[in-house]
Every structure is written in structure tokens, then in C-alpha cells.
A and B are shown apart, each in its own frame.
Chain A
Amino acid sequence: MRDLVFPDVVPRTETDLMPLELEGVRLCLDGKAVLDGVDLRLEGTGCTVIMGPNGAGKSQLLKLIHGLKAPDAGRIEWNGRAAAAVTARQALVFQKPVLLRRSVAANVEFVLKARGRDRGLRNGLLEHVGLLDKARQPARQLSGGEAQRLMLGRALATEPEVLLLDEPTASLDPASVLAIERIILRARERGVKVILVTHDTGQARRMADEVVFLHRGRILEHVPADEFFPEPATSEARDYLNGRIVV
């Protein structure tokens, strides 16, 4: 695989958004609670990986903390500020890429312009995600891995202090996964807080500084990665890590 180059387009970030605190959060969809009694406190920088079986409420949790949805009960605060008030200081990369019907370059430019940032940053960002040679190509012609890299480039164009990722590498080939993980790690090194939802335990092991294990809308574990992977405290997490089907 071609090596990705990393020009200095992601500035060093110091965020005052942390800690993120959730207290008694409950979210219902169609009358059914998908998250219930969620208490969580995330500190500082690094990469928090949210894991759990399908339907555990991981994606909904991400949307709640990003301020795209309001909980039915409970409190979500970023260092004392309401989630919806600080959405602009974070970027969310969706599981399914949502690309504008324009060229790759125009997708990044759109975000730079919307945020009032210098459009000259475009090429640097494209180079950062390894797409400079595809700048003029229609975005919707990109492969799955390339599309997700463009989503990341667009997310970084907003200069986020927190990067939220919803299974960004689901069903991608290993080379694409590696490329995307390197971009995420680079952002983390620059001080961007990363909150990553993933199904892939291998990826969780590679990326996580701490793990939040979610099961049936509740948090069963929230521990440092070096404690979680060798010795999960709950049987559900143990089964999940061992590849048993957890429902």
C-alpha cells in the first residue's frame, strides 16, 4: 500500500470540552428504550472505543453526545455545556458515507467554506487522507474505503476538537482499514479526542485507550483498554471478545 503523507493540516488541538458527562440518560425509539440509565464520564484526550453487540445503542449514544438528538431523560454535558450547543466543535463520521454529488475536492471545499475556513487548505487535507490524486473525480465514484477517507478529510476540515466515528471501517478491506486507522491515530496524536464505535475487536485492541462496553442500552464496563482486553469483568464482554454471539 502506498504510504500516506501527513502534512500539517490538522493543527494541534487543546480542548476545553472535556470532561463529557452523561447522567441517567434514557432514549426511546418507537416507544422502546434503546438506552437506559446511562451514566458515563469521559476525561481528557485519547481514544475511547465504544463496543457492544448489534442493537446495544452505540450509534444512538454517539448521536446523543454529538447533540443530534436529545435524550428522553437525563443530562449530557460537555464540561458543563449542553451537547447541542457544542456540535460545531465536533465532527461525526457516519457509518455510511454521506457524500455530496460533487467532486472529491468540492466536498472538502464545501465544508471549508461553510465553516469560513481558508479554502487553500483543501489540497493539504486531501493529501492528508491520500485522495489528492482523485481530487477532480466525482465523490460518489469512490470506493468504500476512499469514500470513508473523504468523510474523514471533510470531518478534519471542520477543525474538530472531538472526532466521533460510527464504525468507520465496517466492511472495508484491510488496506483501507489501516489507512483510516492511521488518519484517526494521527488526529489523536494532535490532541483531538477520539470516540470510536466499532464492532471490530481487532480494531478496538489497536486503537483503544479505554473501552466502554455497551449491552442492551446499558453500560456494563468502562475501563482502560489494558484492563478490558485481558480480563473483561462481565460475562457478556468476555463472550463478545471471544467471538460468541451475544444478544
Chain B
Amino acid sequence: MQDFGEAFALAFGLVLSPTGDLLEIVGLSLRVSLTATAVACLLGLPLGALLAVTRFRGRGAVLVAINALMGLPPVVVGLLVYLNLSRAGPLGFLGLLYTPTAMIIAQTILITPIVAALSRQILEDLNAEYAEQFRSLCLGRWQSVQALLWDGRYALLTVGLAGFGRAVAEVGAVMIVGGNIDHLTRVMTTAIALETSKGELALALALGIVLMAIALGVNALVQSLRMSAERRNVYA
């Protein structure tokens, strides 16, 4: 067990001159979580928009279900994906277990409800303003959905960010379906868990610092995009 001071010093050293291993882990983390976020947005944003513009019997129940799914425990998602992808499972023939693809699938399932539920809320407010005008213009449902998604794009950036934040920070799902295999499925969170349990605090801390820097960087990027849009008053 290293003492804390030493661990911090080593950690900052690692961040400043990262090793190949560290870069590999960070790279895989970003690849998995960014892909999962992109897929979740592709599925969740149109779903959220569709829920915002449609009224049907049982809509309330669907909204409750989606809102509840926002709180899905990552380990449960991991377990369900594991059961499906394991050799004996229905999708075992794909041979995806313990691959980055399995991790992407698990994180996508985890964050799609978040993207759908939050975008539904934002777009429903926007739709309240547009709905009558759209009906007067006799727009089809798909045209309305497209218009809402485009006009809500800056607010929806935050939704994507929330999804990414959840994906990149979770450990339970990727641990179960990825297996934390060195050079193959080891990401920042699983590495932190492993290194901490081994007492290798420097590497764990270095990864933690990188993780927080990424979170900060992505937030700053989204914030500056929104602010520049507001300055141009596009999203007034």
C-alpha cells in the first residue's frame, strides 16, 4: 500500500507522461462510451420526440416505465446482457461476450431510457409551443418530430451529455459483460476497481483524474456550444 502523497505524485506523473497501457484504457473507454451514447441518441431521441408529439392509450404507463428505466442498475443490465450473450444464451452464437461490442450493447441499454425520457420532457415543452402551428400547417408526425429535434438541438446536447456521463462512469455492466480483460476489455472504471483492490493506488488515481478531466472537458465543450448558440440568439 502506497501512502497517499506518493500515490498522488505518481498519478500526476502518469497523467503528464502517460504509458501505453493508460492510453489504451482511456482510448477504449472513450470508444465504448461514445459509441454507446451515439447509438442511444439515435434510438432515444426519435423515441423521446415521438412520445412528445403523440397521445395514445397507455401513454402514461409508457412514460412511467421509461422514467423508471432511467434508474436501471448497471449490474442488472450487465447481468441481463451477460445471460443473453453467454454461450448458452439466445445470442451466444454471436460470440460477443467479453468483447467491446458487448460493453457497447450494455451501455446502450443502460442510457437509451435516459436519453428518451429527458428528450421527451424537453421536446414536449417545445411541442406545446409549436403543436397548433404544426397542425395548421398540416405537418405529418415525422415532419413534426424532425422539426422538434432540430429546433431543440442545443437543449438535447445536454441530454446526450447526461447519457455519456452515465455510460463512462458506470462500472457494473462493463465489468460483467466485458470481464476487465487486459488489452481487450479493460476500461477506466474497471481498471480503477481492479487497481484499487490490488493496492495500486497511483494507477487508480491517475485513471480517476483522467476520468474527471474527460467529464470536465466534455461538459465544457457542450456548455460553450450552448453559450455560443445563445450569443447568436438562435435558441432564444
- Cβ of B138 within 8 Å of any chain A Cβ, yes or no, is yes
Contact with A along B111-148 (1 / 0, CB 8 A): 00000000000000000011011011111000100010
Q: Size band of the A side of the interface?
A: 10 to 19
A98 in contact with B233 (CB, 8 Å): no
A138 in contact with B234 (CB, 8 Å): yes
- Cβ of A229 within 8 Å of any chain B Cβ, yes or no, is no
CA distance A158 to B134 in the complex (A): 12
A98 in contact with B138 (CB, 8 Å): no
Q: Which residue of B lies closest to A164 (CB)?
A: B136
- Cβ of A135 within 8 Å of any chain B Cβ, yes or no, is no
Contact with A along B198-225 (1 / 0, CB 8 A): 0000000000000000000000000000
Known interface pairs A98-B130, A114-B143. Does A138 touch B135 (Cβ–Cβ under 8 Å)? no
B contact residues around A117 at 8 Å (CB): none
- Cβ of A4 within 8 Å of any chain B Cβ, yes or no, is no
Contact with A along B76-119 (1 / 0, CB 8 A): 00000000000000000000000000000000000000000000
- Cβ of B4 within 8 Å of any chain A Cβ, yes or no, is no
- Cβ of A102 within 8 Å of any chain B Cβ, yes or no, is yes
Known interface pairs A110-B147, A138-B232, A138-B234. Does A98 touch B137 (Cβ–Cβ under 8 Å)? no
A100 in contact with B132 (CB, 8 Å): no
Interface residue from B132, B136, B233 paired with A91 (Cβ < 8 Å): B136
B138 in contact with A102 (CB, 8 Å): no
- Cβ of A66 within 8 Å of any chain B Cβ, yes or no, is yes
B234 in contact with A102 (CB, 8 Å): yes
- Cβ of B64 within 8 Å of any chain A Cβ, yes or no, is no
B30 CB, nearest partner CB in chain A, Å = 31
B236 in contact with A141 (CB, 8 Å): yes
Q: Which residue of A lies closest to B153 (CB)?
A: A101
Interface residue from A88, A98, A138, A140 paired with B132 (Cβ < 8 Å): A98
Binding site for B on A (CB under 8 A): 66, 68, 87-88, 91-92, 94, 98, 100-102, 110-111, 114-115, 138, 140-141, 158
Binding site for A on B (CB under 8 A): 129-130, 132-133, 135-139, 143, 147, 150-151, 232-236
